[in-house]
A and B are shown apart, each in its own frame.
Chain A
Amino acid sequence: MEHIRKLGYRRLGLLIGVLALLMIPLGITNPYFMYVINLILIYILLVLGLDLLVGYTGQVSIGHGAFFGIGAYIAAIFSTKLGLSFWLTLPIAILATAIIGFIIGFIGLKLIEEYLVMATLAFGTIIWLVFLNWTDVTGGPMGIALIPPPPEMNFGLFTLSFTQYADYYPLLLFFVIVAIIITKLLINSGFGRSCTAIRDDELAAQSMGIPVFRTKVIMFTISASYCGAAGTLYAHFIHVVSPETFNFTMSVTILTMVMIGGQGSIIGAVLGASLLTIFSEALRAAPELRMLIYGLLIVIMMMFFPRGIMGIISFYRKLIEKRALLKKLKGGKATVDVKKEGLGYE
């Protein structure tokens, strides 16, 4: 017990949570469900990446689907044409998307607000056209197929052979946890604080000595590389990449997830990715309807709940706290009253 107390209940809770998450594949036998869960994990990576930019730094991009695509295509090309394994394509993709992210950020972030949105939209579209038309390298509309799974991993007790969906789950979960830890470390540092300051008031931030442009570009670069990593995982998980996955719709989907979950919140990112992935899987038969509903959702969320689901939760939490406080105050008064009554009877 002493050990547990030392560890702290918070950490204990986390440990139990992670163990419970690891048990999921044992309970789910339907491979389709496993596929959806894995997809959710990949989306969580994307949303965490975009949220760093949108939620924590206040810079909106609707071109991050392109970074996802670049990561996926790099994994596809390097693994099918050069025979590199997943453990090599991953760092290559992260590095490449970081470099491209830096360049796009360096150019785009000279623009503000809606102009930045337009620039990232243009970038996303251009990259999509490259995927579609550079047939020699990207395979054109057909894309690239037969991307190998990651090499078999042996942990003594069990082996991940990557022959079924459930095998990918621990690997993806690992990367999601790593991404969450990195995100947490980043935002709880001088760098992370300077990003939130920029989001809240650029002029005031700059007057406090924060190099606004440089900070934004660095965050854009990090954000892009999250998406690159997600792309690599996606390519090795689905084994096929084709242009239509990484079009404008993908960028909007990621942004919607950020908005729905709640900007600037890790739990929000997880919630947003989970809900919308399940939702869009449910609406598989009608993809056009999906975009219509996404658009409507964004408008409604922006109008009534600009802080997303996490915003609603914190609103009600505060309300409950306030009520509890009121009750406590009233309760205190009541005991005093009782005493008075008692005195009266004596």
Chain B
Amino acid sequence: MNKKNLTDTAILTVAGLSKSFGGVKAVNDLSFSVKKNHIHAIIGPNGAGKSTLFNLITGIIPPDEGEVRFFTTDITSLRSDQIAKHGVSRTFQNIRLFPDMTVFETVLIGTYLLTGAKLAPALLRTKAFRENERVAKQRVEEILKFVGLWDVRDEYAAQLSYGNQRRVEIARALATQPQLLLLDEPTAGMNPKETKELMDLFTAVNNEGITILIIAHDMNLVNTLSDHITVINFGEKLVEGTADVIQKHPAVIEAYMGKVKVDA
């Protein structure tokens, strides 16, 4: 693959992150960093704590211990809207769309950070307000064309096909102008064609200079797309490295396949 300029700057650093639910350690002393412009995959068996990790990074649940840094800013104790403001956006494992909104309206919500919510300009319809609205709508148009949803912009987002609903979610996340995009199992339940199309979309997004942190089960996707892989199991980091390293690593094979009995 001819890749864009991969950098060594860490865009996201997770250090010693832990979270327990009751007695279960969902995430246990986890540390890794995501480099700028990479597509970084998180893989691991079901219940390994991948989604919890995403919720910790985006401030939906607070960690028990540890630290999350975005570039050099500590974002551990920030609310999710503040984290979004820093330039981290996400999609959800179970698609979360706004049931009463069209595709266009849904993506327009993502422009909140651009338009803001100041009341006085809205009530007076000032020039700056109208300009902001225009720019926001233009950006939505660009994004919808980019993800290939412009033709269905006036349809209700929740009535689209599963694959297109995921696209809406990604478009909404892109509208916040993120530097880092977190995708939580974006291709789960998709057929091979939809998966392929979404993979192309991720590559296109990445080529726009947006770093992607992706949770996935589809090993084909992970191997094709990712520059770096972190494998977690029982909330702990098992291994990390490039696709070649991961595939051959005995610990990964063990986690997925069970222990290989050498004597047998």
Q: Is A207 an interface residue (CB 8 A)?
A: yes
Q: Is A301 an interface residue (CB 8 A)?
A: no
Nearest A residue (CB) for B115:
A190
Which residues between 50 and 77 of chain B lie within 8 Å of chain A, taking CB atoms? 58, 60
Of the four ranges (under 10, 10 to 19, 20 to 34, 35 or more), the interface on chain A belongs to: 20 to 34
Contact B98 A185 (CB under 8 A): no
**Chain B proximity of A91: nearest CB distance (Å):** 16
Can you list 30 A-B pairs, Cβ within 8 angstroms, ordered by A?
Answer: A182-B123, A185-B122, A186-B119, A189-B133, A190-B112, A190-B122, A190-B133, A190-B136, A191-B118, A191-B119, A192-B122, A193-B108, A196-B101, A197-B112, A200-B98, A200-B101, A201-B99, A203-B80, A203-B92, A203-B96, A206-B81, A206-B84, A207-B60, A207-B80, A207-B81, A208-B172, A209-B84, A209-B112, A210-B81, A211-B81
C-alpha gap A193/B116 in the complex (Å): 10
Q: Is A79 an interface residue (CB 8 A)?
A: no
Contact B112 A196 (CB under 8 A): no
Q: Is A117 an interface residue (CB 8 A)?
A: no
Most B CB contacts (10 A, CB to CB) among A185, A194, A207, A218 go to A207
Give the chain A neighbours of B81 by CB distance below 8 A.
206-212
Q: Is B90 an interface residue (CB 8 A)?
A: yes
Interface size on B, residues (CB 8 A): 40
C-alpha gap A182/B102 in the complex (Å): 24
Nearest A residue (CB) for B109:
A197
Nearest A residue (CB) for B105:
A193
Give the chain A neighbours of B105 by CB distance below 8 A.
193
Given contacts A204-B92, A206-B80, A209-B84, contact A191 B117 (CB under 8 A): yes
Give the chain A neighbours of B115 by CB distance below 8 A.
189-190
Q: Is A129 an interface residue (CB 8 A)?
A: no
Give the chain B neighbours of A85 by CB distance below 8 A.
none
Contact A201 B97 (CB under 8 A): yes
**Chain B proximity of A46: nearest CB distance (Å):** 20
C-alpha gap A208/B109 in the complex (Å): 7
Q: Is B186 an interface residue (CB 8 A)?
A: no
Most A CB contacts (10 A, CB to CB) among B58, B105, B109, B125 go to B109
Contact A209 B85 (CB under 8 A): yes
Contact A190 B116 (CB under 8 A): yes
Give the chain B neighbours of A206 by CB distance below 8 A.
60, 79-81, 84
Contact A207 B58 (CB under 8 A): yes
Given contacts A204-B98, A211-B81, contact A185 B109 (CB under 8 A): no
Q: Is B49 an interface residue (CB 8 A)?
A: no
C-alpha gap A209/B89 in the complex (Å): 9
B-contact bits for A214-240, CB 8 A (1 contact / 0 none): 010010000000000000000000000
Contact A203 B60 (CB under 8 A): yes
C-alpha gap A192/B172 in the complex (Å): 17
Q: Is B244 an interface residue (CB 8 A)?
A: no
Q: Is B187 an interface residue (CB 8 A)?
A: no
Give the chain B neighbours of A212 by CB distance below 8 A.
81
Give the chain B neighbours of A218 by CB distance below 8 A.
119
Contact A186 B123 (CB under 8 A): yes
Q: Is B44 an interface residue (CB 8 A)?
A: no
Give the chain A neighbours of B150 by CB distance below 8 A.
none
Given contacts A182-B123, A186-B122, contact A208 B89 (CB under 8 A): yes
Q: Is A118 an interface residue (CB 8 A)?
A: no
Contact B112 A193 (CB under 8 A): yes
Give the chain A neighbours of B80 by CB distance below 8 A.
203, 206-207
Q: Is A179 an interface residue (CB 8 A)?
A: no
Give the chain B neighbours of A185 by CB distance below 8 A.
122-123, 125
Give the chain B neighbours of A215 by CB distance below 8 A.
117
Q: Is A104 an interface residue (CB 8 A)?
A: no
